[in-house]
Homo-oligomer: A and B are copies of this chain.
């Protein structure tokens, strides 16, 4: 995979494969049709009801099921629906030819149909071989989208689908929407000339953003790129608010543990740790925190958590949660000293926070007791309960709320609009954060969900504060 490939990025990619599989599996289960033939979609000739066959999916007959899924998702993505309404007048993406590579789910479908309503033409592939909702892909194909994706692609299928989005007679994409960087990588490798007409890349994932910064540092980034992952709104929602709920959900679904009275240690008190601690405290757990940064440590103190080193409490806690973004936070030495029945899980960004590898030794017995739940058993009979084999609990064992996906999708749409319409020179061959004002706009589009009413500055107040009445209201660095 040429320029992108580092050992590290592969690991992360692999992990995303795994975790999204878990999430999506539960949704798609009900639609699995046992009579589905085993013919590869690449070998089938399908057409939608209008006679269009420019797509490659599992089964066009599932379109009705998929449409229902999309309609349900629409109800929870009001911001995109609001963008569509505005687009009745102006078409900010008129002329845009977007090639996309993301998870293909009902939420993505709402995004794609919004881009279309805004004037764009789209061709789309899946960024993950397992995560495609086949019936949604069918509904998109039926609706006229050129989709190339199905659940259970081979690696060869994966690149073939991407290629079919990019390389087709009479189609020259001018925008890229990517999630993970594989599409971007493919164009770099196979069709570098295509970048001459491309106005920009919008990238969603940590991995993809990392790749873009590497390109940029190496002086090889040849179009502007928008880092959607680090926008304020997305960060706050993905981390603090989403984790506040998913820690409870993930633990309950896997272990049915009662939180009241449990002693818990949370390693790391960044946004994720703050969310986990707040939730568990509210449910009656006694929470300890470990930190390396004295400022976050002082915040933990002021928020009412005892700040400890892991070895001070490891023998007494019922649950250990890592949220550090670091590696080897919970090592074998600590695992050895945990009490019988201790639950261990990871909410941080990588799967190396818990040294799971150190548990793969002959004297320990692993017992899979439920999906995503292993008992690791010591010779003396002590068991610890390891969740998701140390991978991200919130992705593996709970669901990502549609509301969070809505914020991401809206941010992606606005980033496309911004890059596509930006006057010459506003963006150079670099990686950008979404301008503060657009971040604020994403937020404002989600306020009606809560029947929330924003106050407007008077002219006098705006002048006093030195602000434009329409924002931005804070400096770019404000968090």
Contact = CB atoms under 8 A, between A and B. Distances in A.
Interface of A: 30, 72, 75-76, 232-233, 236-237, 241-242, 244-245, 248-249, 252-253, 256-263, 278-279, 281-286, 290-295, 297-310, 312, 316, 325-329, 340-341, 369-370, 398-399, 401-404, 439-441, 443-444, 446-447, 449-458, 460-461, 464-465, 471, 473-474, 477-479
B307 A453 contact: yes
A286 B439 CA distance: 25
A373 to B, nearest CB: 11
B304 A261 contact: yes
Given A248-B252, A256-B401, A263-B450, 13 more contacts: A76-B341, A236-B295, A248-B248, A249-B249, A261-B449, A284-B302, A291-B454, A292-B457, A295-B440, A295-B473, A307-B447, A326-B464, A479-B479
A297 B443 contact: yes
A252 to B, nearest CB: 5
A258 B401 contact: yes
18 contacts: A242-B258, A245-B260, A248-B248, A248-B249, A261-B301, A261-B449, A282-B283, A285-B304, A292-B473, A293-B440, A295-B440, A307-B453, A307-B454, A309-B454, A310-B455, A316-B451, A326-B461, A477-B477
A403 B453 contact: no
Given A257-B401, A298-B443, A301-B260, A341 B457 contact: no
Given A326-B464, A328-B461, A402-B256, A241 B451 contact: no
Given A245-B260, A245-B283, A286-B304, A294 B450 contact: no
A244 B455 contact: no
Nearest to A29: B370
A297 B252 contact: no
Given A292-B455, A452-B297, A471-B293, A245 B258 contact: yes
Contacts of A399: 252, 256
A15 to B, nearest CB: 16
A293 B439 CA distance: 11
Nearest to A300: B452
Contact of A284 (B249, B304, B312, B443): B304
A306 B284 CA distance: 10
A244 B284 contact: yes
A195 B129 CA distance: 67
Nearest to A289: B452
A455 B258 contact: no
A286 B306 contact: yes
B256 A447 contact: no
Contacts of A404: 258
Contacts of A76: 341
A466 B233 CA distance: 26
A297 B341 CA distance: 23
Contact of A281 (B257, B304, B444): B304
Nearest to A404: B258
Contact of A455 (B245, B291, B441, B464): B291
A309 B455 contact: yes
A269 to B, nearest CB: 11
Give the one of A328, A401, A450 with max B CB within 10 A. Answer: A450
A456 B245 CA distance: 29
A8 B326 CA distance: 48
A299 B236 contact: yes
A306 B252 contact: no
B295 A474 contact: yes
A324 to B, nearest CB: 9
The 3 A-B pairs with the shortest beta carbon distances in the complex, nearest first, are A282-B282, A307-B452, A258-B401
A75 B341 contact: yes
Contacts of A328: 458, 460-461
